[in-house]
Copies of this chain bind each other. A is one copy, B any other.
Amino acid sequence: MSKGSLFVISGPSGTGKGTVCAKLLAEDNIFLSISATTRDMRVGEAEGVTYYYTTTEKFEKMIENGEMLEYAVYGGNYYGTPKKAVTDMLDSGKNVILEIEPQGALKVKAQMPEAILIFVVPPSIAELRKRLTERGREDDAEIERRINAAKWEFSQSPKYNYVIVNDDLDTCVKDTLSIIKSANDRQQMIEKLLSEI
């Protein structure tokens, strides 16, 4: 069995990367990485299924040791992606997806150059503004701030492996699936060649 690949799905706020990821997870052999958190376990959750539950002290030790691919703080608790959780899944042949914002995506690439970075862009800025407005989570000032942040994010796009336009959702998902297939084919080809030496 060949190793799986890590796909980091990123892009400016409002491009619909979350919806793309949700569709991808419905496919065979594509999984979300399991995050670690310092918050308490809730009813219906399970260790290693919903999260890896840990203490603040241990979480901070992992950050210090470079064992976190990326992390953030929400509501006083840490949330992050332990590198080992990802590499274990890859080693067992699973494809792993990670949906994070552009700054985090570039940090993951710096630590795992083999990560395949996919940058999801809107078909136009007018459409991006429309989507941000329609979802109604942010006020006008915040929407303009996000669009302005996209400027820096777009300028970083050459560091991504792929740029896909999310105009029609199904086409966008199909494009992403063909990227995943081609990464798996490539992994198999390299493993075949290495086995022949």
Contacts and interface: CB of A to CB of B under 8 A. Distances in A.
Contact of A193 (B154, B186, B190): B154
Nearest to A3: B158
Q: What is the copy number of this chain in the assembly?
A: 2
A196 B154 CA distance: 12
Interface of A: 113-114, 121-122, 124-126, 147-148, 150-151, 154-155, 157-159, 161, 163, 165, 186, 189-190, 192-194, 196-197
Contact of A113 (B147, B159, B196, B197): B159
14 contacts: A122-B193, A124-B193, A125-B197, A126-B196, A148-B197, A150-B193, A150-B197, A151-B197, A154-B190, A154-B197, A155-B194, A157-B190, A161-B161, A163-B190
Contacts of A192: 124
